[in-house]
Chains A and B, each alone.
Chain A
Amino acid sequence: MISPVGIRSFGAYLPRLRLERSAIAVATGWATGNRGGKPKGTRSYCAWDEDSLTMAVEAARDCLAGSDRSGLASLAFASTTHPFADRSNAGVVAAALNLPETVRGVDASGNLRAGSGALLQAFAQVRGTPGDALVVAADRRLAKPASEQEMSYGHGAAALRVGAGAELAAELLGSASLQDDFVDHYRASASDFDYALEERWVRDEGYLKIVPRAIQSALQAAGLEQAAVKHLVVQGPGRFAGAIAKATGIAAEALQDDLGSTCGDTGTAHPFLMLGAVLEKAAAGDVIVLASFGQGSDAIVLRATGRAPSPGRGLQGVLAEGTLDQQYVRFLANCGLVEIDWGMRAERDNRTAQSVAWRKHRDVTSFIGGQCSQCGTVQFPRSRACVNPACRAFDTQVEIALAETVGKVKTYTEDWLAVTRSPPHVYGNVALDNGANVFAEFADTPAGTIEVGTPVRFVFRIKDFDAVRAFRRYFWKATPVRT
């Protein structure tokens, strides 16, 4: 008997900032007129120091929470908004996850189907070769102010760990793919924004003519009838999914909420996020169909095993962690669509010494500290001489990973003078539970959020932008443990 392949675990990430769509309407209504109906709900958007890559890292950490990472053979990072066009984005994610250099990394891109495509590749891989595959999808798509996309898009990420054999949350039953150069929207390589075509045409000629055929083929491959489908996930607007259920004869009750009211459409990540919602509630034996859309469709048929899919916060966790926001101009600023005057101090040159960045990449990207093998003191950064005043031994420190450690705020300030794209700049000393002390920035901490003693964990974020050389660098920041 062939051992089954499938999804071991799921992880999600959404930025905390959830812009109320009514705030968009208030700010842009003069230009758009009455679009009909009152804008409802919120959309997620990145803090100034988040991008697709940092979100991918957080979703991956959520997916791998508490588990051994040594079983991973590959990492695919799917996105249409990778921060780098030529530098392995998956490589940065892998380093942030402290994965061994033998883990094969690949960036999947080109269209919104990059995530489902990478997932199918992962299934094929684990069937044939040892080791699990991690598939992460994240998108931070920009939208022109006052556009429909500005309302409907969101920023987010999701991760799926794929493996073979036992301990699966969902088993793969079958799949099918169709490829058609149907241009419902596109974004040229040099462009920031999508160019989207009329929705009715997209629905009637695109979705309804392509996706049902993919689903039917996949069900055929799985040897199942439409009636067996308990959950249906269709990438794209929820109203299209309804038409597809009808067209395929799948019960309307199988349709999934498209998360439009909370985070919006997160692009490449979205089918995974919706799949996560299904996995988190599915009963053992439930048949799930996931259909992506983008110049064709990938349809994937899965069966839930009843095993809990989310070792971390999962989708329900990250959905609940949002903060309502009405700062439309901040949204534009974080998206880089308005330039705030941050003053002369912001003119500072942020050139990265790449030779140093490479020499210290274990410390900075993987957040590796040193533990003195003589006295046990944990310290960051590593150094040649132990920092413990009672030890000070030379060359005794061995690597210790700090990213998953927690600690407490020892000192902090809210600095209104320092340059940051989200004043005040909050930073201070963090006392880790393992005894180390880290001088750190805090992330997602508006004024009044923390105090001495606040429990914190670490998140992977953008440290600085170098606008002159179109570079950005990353490091870890402390953020309150929110329960």
Chain B
Amino acid sequence: MAAGIRDKVAILGMGCSRFGERWDSGPDDLMVEAFKEAVADAGIERDRIEAAWLGVFYQEQSTSKSGLPLSMALRLPNTPVTRVENLCATGTEALRGAAYAVAAGAVDIALAMGVEKLKDTGFAGLPERTKGTFEDLWHPGFTPPGAFAQLGAAYAARHGFKMDDVKRAMAHVSWKSHENAALSPRAHLRNRITIEQALTAPMIAYPLGTYDCCGVSDGAACAIVTTPEIAASLGKRDMVTIKALALAPSNGVEMGHASWDGSHTITSRIAAARAFKEAGITNPAEQIDLMEVHDCFSITELVLMEDLGFSAPGRAVHDVLDGRYDRDGAVPCQTDGGLKCFGHPVGASGLRMAYEIYTQLLGRAGERQLKSPALGLTHNLGGIPNRNVASVSVLGLHKG
């Protein structure tokens, strides 16, 4: 049995563009913005990158297919670029490609870039995505908020909560992320809100109101990875290594089998178990210092606290309201504002999460810096609760 990639890959440098409604920028601008920061952080020439992975979800939206957009934007010296797409796990998938190439010894230095330019549709919310020709014939014409909202009704029914109680915890989730984003200079939504505002906002998809939904943002984030040995040879002392990178796509059980009750995400549980095994983590709630999870909607973050093993089944509502996941809580979640407030340019989100963990682990997080964190988790949930791709990564400070 293969041992996995734990500590075989180090992050040499990272970059993240400002997220938001970047009316002034195209995908090339956003990629250059993130890359310039990363390559300076890494302290290398761009031509030392031997292979690159580009994550883009909505290729229909101005960025286009293939590896070309990255190769062209950065004027790479015909470096191999692989375009990857795995719904909202796309950014993490790009990192996985680059990390595996390094771990395999195929290349010394690799780049993972995630980018999304969403705000060119002319309307609010996510663009229409292409569907299969068969799905069109029978799938409900769902929206992301409508699909994720269903966790709310099912979760309340499963655990015997009144929706008002779940709504209050959801409001706390969003309030907390706005608080964090206020201290996060590159975040999209940096305003503070009150719990009351979240509770009384207009309904988007029951039970989700406006403040239960994440921002639709433009942005890019990237990572340059290498081996810990090469990183050390390049003078890196404080080093963040990849402890685990796990992926779990649905196989149809949620949408087609009675065993799923709709109140949780099966794939997140599987991906987390795999990641914890690879990273050698036995008690995540005790060992993980911070996390960036896929809070596309407040209800998603709420149920993920249970799926990832940080709250006992049916306890997330209480733990959230008790402040367990606030910035000063036991396991801070979304210290940069998360998808909710930092923003969610789909292809970039996984790498943006890694960027925040990396930033916190290296003590560079400024006003929102946590006290000496050593181990962080990222989680993506691409798709919708009844059919999705989950990814979990664990990043940690490497003691050389």
Contact = CB atoms under 8 A, between A and B. Distances in A.
Given A410-B154, A411-B154, A464 B255 contact: no
A352 B137 contact: yes
A98 interface: no
A427 B259 CA distance: 20
A411 B256 contact: no
A387 B253 CA distance: 6
A318 interface: no
B156 to A, nearest CB: 8
B55 interface: no
Contacts of A419: 141
A209 interface: no
Contacts of B252: 383, 387
Contact of B137 (A345, A356, A389, A451): A356
A87 interface: no
A363 B256 contact: no
Nearest to A391: B257
A439 B122 contact: no
A427 B134 CA distance: 18
B150 A464 contact: no
Interface string A397-440: 00000000000001111111111100011011101000111011
A413 B144 CA distance: 11
Interface string B121-152: 11101001000011011111111011101111
A434 B128 CA distance: 34
Interface of A: 343-345, 348, 350, 352-353, 356-357, 360, 363-364, 377, 379-381, 383, 387-389, 410-420, 424-425, 427-429, 431, 435-437, 439-441, 447, 451-453, 463-464, 473, 475
Given A348-B128, A416-B205, A411 B153 contact: yes
A54 to B, nearest CB: 16
B128, B133, B157, B386, most chain A CB atoms within 10 A: B133
25 contacts: A345-B125, A379-B257, A380-B256, A381-B138, A387-B251, A389-B251, A413-B152, A415-B142, A415-B146, A415-B149, A415-B204, A417-B146, A418-B142, A418-B146, A425-B140, A425-B141, A427-B142, A427-B146, A435-B258, A437-B255, A437-B260, A439-B386, A440-B140, A463-B137, A473-B137
A387 B138 contact: no
B146 A411 contact: no
A453 B139 CA distance: 21
Closest 8 CB pairs of A and B: A415-B146, A427-B140, A411-B150, A411-B262, A353-B133, A413-B149, A387-B256, A452-B157
A447 B204 CA distance: 12
Contact of A463 (B138, B208, B257, B259): B138
Contact of B205 (A417, A441, A451): A417
Q: How large is the interface on B (under 10, 10 to 19, 20 to 34, 35 or more residues)?
A: 35 or more
Contacts of A437: 255-258, 260
Given A411-B262, A417-B204, A364 B137 contact: yes
B165 interface: no
B139 to A, nearest CB: 7
B253 to A, nearest CB: 5
Given A410-B262, A413-B153, 4 more contacts: A345-B123, A413-B152, A415-B204, A439-B140
B261 interface: yes
Interface in B222-265: 251-253, 255-262
A219 to B, nearest CB: 51
Contacts of B253: 387, 389
Nearest to A442: B140
A290 B357 CA distance: 80
A344 B126 CA distance: 12
B203 interface: yes
A411 B134 contact: no
A464 B156 CA distance: 32
Contacts of A357: 137
User: Which of B134, B149, B153, B255 has the largest number of chain A CB atoms within 10 A?
Assistant: B153
A344 B122 contact: yes
A429 B386 contact: yes
A464 B134 CA distance: 13
Contacts of A427: 140-142, 146
A389 B254 CA distance: 10
Contact of B145 (A417, A431, A447): A417
Contacts of A379: 256-257
B207 to A, nearest CB: 8
Nearest to A417: B143
A417 B126 CA distance: 11
Nearest to B148: A413
Nearest to B150: A411
A323 to B, nearest CB: 20
A462 to B, nearest CB: 12
Interface in B290-339: none
A345 B137 CA distance: 18
A276 B375 CA distance: 73
Contacts of B122: 344
Nearest to A474: B137
Contact of A412 (B123, B150, B261): B150
A436 B256 contact: yes
Nearest to B128: A348
Nearest to B121: A344
Nearest to B157: A452
A380 B139 CA distance: 11
B100 to A, nearest CB: 27
Interface in B86-128: 121-123, 125, 128
A473 B3 CA distance: 52
Nearest to A473: B137
A344 B145 CA distance: 18
A431 B258 CA distance: 7
B216 to A, nearest CB: 12
Q: Which of A352, A356, A377, A411 has the most CB of B within 10 A?
A: A411
A431 B140 CA distance: 16
A422 B253 CA distance: 31
Task: Please indicate which of the listed interface residues B121, B141, B156, B385 has the most CB atoms of chain A within 10 Å of its own CB.
Answer: B141
B123 A413 contact: no
B147 to A, nearest CB: 8
Contacts of A410: 154, 261-262
A464 B253 CA distance: 27
A427 B149 CA distance: 11
Nearest to B384: A439
A364 B156 CA distance: 32
B140 A360 contact: no
B32 to A, nearest CB: 30
Given A412-B153, A418-B141, A437-B255, A424 B134 contact: no
A436 B259 CA distance: 10
A447 B149 CA distance: 14
A191 to B, nearest CB: 32
A414 B205 contact: yes
A361 to B, nearest CB: 9
Contacts of B139: 439
A77 B257 CA distance: 37
Interface string B373-400: 0000000000001100000000000000
